[in-house]
């Protein structure tokens, strides 16, 4: 059976880089505020994967109230979620991630992002899309005080 999942995340930004997005480090004058490393793209992707199998959300599995997740690399969350899907015999067909950030421009980083996510998901890079946008100067993302990410995934399950 094919199942779809959707994920969304928003993190505030503070002075001082680097910025972690889609399991890579982007040189930037800002970094994301968060209990973990604040990787909004990976968090949105994890939520989409969990959503595809109706397994709750990222916060229910890795509560930000727990000290052990403080400062943890979000690739650890993605590995854990990928493992949960594999345990259920689920196969990720493709993922599509959109990151919205005013600055710096993320276009030079989409290929390394695709590679990093594909590696963690253990799927072909061709099945991983990363799209980037600015917010046209509008809203908190446009004002440069937040980063936003969305993800959609398709997962094939045995039953
Ligand atoms: Mg988050």
87 CA → ligand 1 middle, Å = 24
- How far does the centroid of ligand 1 lie from the alpha carbon of residue 135, in Å? 19
Q: Find the 10 Cα to ligand 1 centroid distance in Å.
A: 6
pLDDT of residue 4: 98
Burial of 21 by CB count in 10 Å (0-12 exposed, 13-18 middle, 19+ buried)?
Answer: buried
Q: Which protein residues have their CB within 5 A of the ion that is ligand 1?
A: 9, 43
Report the separation in Å between the CA atom of 60 and the middle of ligand 1, taken as the mean of its atom positions: 12
pLDDT of residue 63: 84
The pLDDT value recorded for residue 111 is: 98
Q: Which parts of the chain fold into alpha helices (H)?
A: 40-52, 58-61, 74-87, 110-121, 139-142
Chain length of the chain = 159
Q: DSSP secondary-structure letter at 18?
A: -
- Whether residue 132 contacts residue 149, with contact meaning beta carbons closer than 8 Å, is answered with no
Q: What's the confidence (pLDDT) of residue 35?
A: 84
Digit-by-digit pLDDT tens for the chain (159 residues) are 999 999 999 999 999 989 999 999 999 999 999 888 899 999 999 999 999 999 999 999 988 888 887 878 899 999 999 999 999 999 999 999 999 999 999 999 999 999 999 999 999 999 999 999 999 999 999 999 999 999 999 999 997
């Amino acid at each position: 059976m094919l199942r779809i999942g959707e994920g969304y995340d928003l993190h505030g930004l503070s002075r001082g880089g680097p910025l972690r997005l889609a399991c890579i480090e982007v040189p930037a004058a800002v970094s994301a505020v968060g209990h973990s490393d604040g990787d909004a793209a990976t968090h949105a992707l994890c939520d989409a994967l969990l959503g595809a199998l109706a397994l709750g959300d990222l916060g229910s599995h890795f509560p930000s109230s727990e000290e052990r997740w403080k400062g943890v690399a979000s690739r650890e969350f993605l590995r854990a979620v990928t493992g949960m899907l594999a345990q259920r015999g689920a196969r990720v067909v493709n993922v599509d991630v959109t990151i919205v950030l005013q600055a710096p421009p993320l276009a030079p980083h989409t290929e390394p992002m695709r590679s990093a996510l594909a590696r963690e998901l253990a799927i072909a890079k061709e099945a991983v899309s990363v799209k980037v946008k600015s917010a046209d100067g509008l809203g908190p993302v446009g004002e440069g005080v937040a980063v936003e990410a969305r993800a959609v995934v398709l997962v094939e399950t045995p039953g």
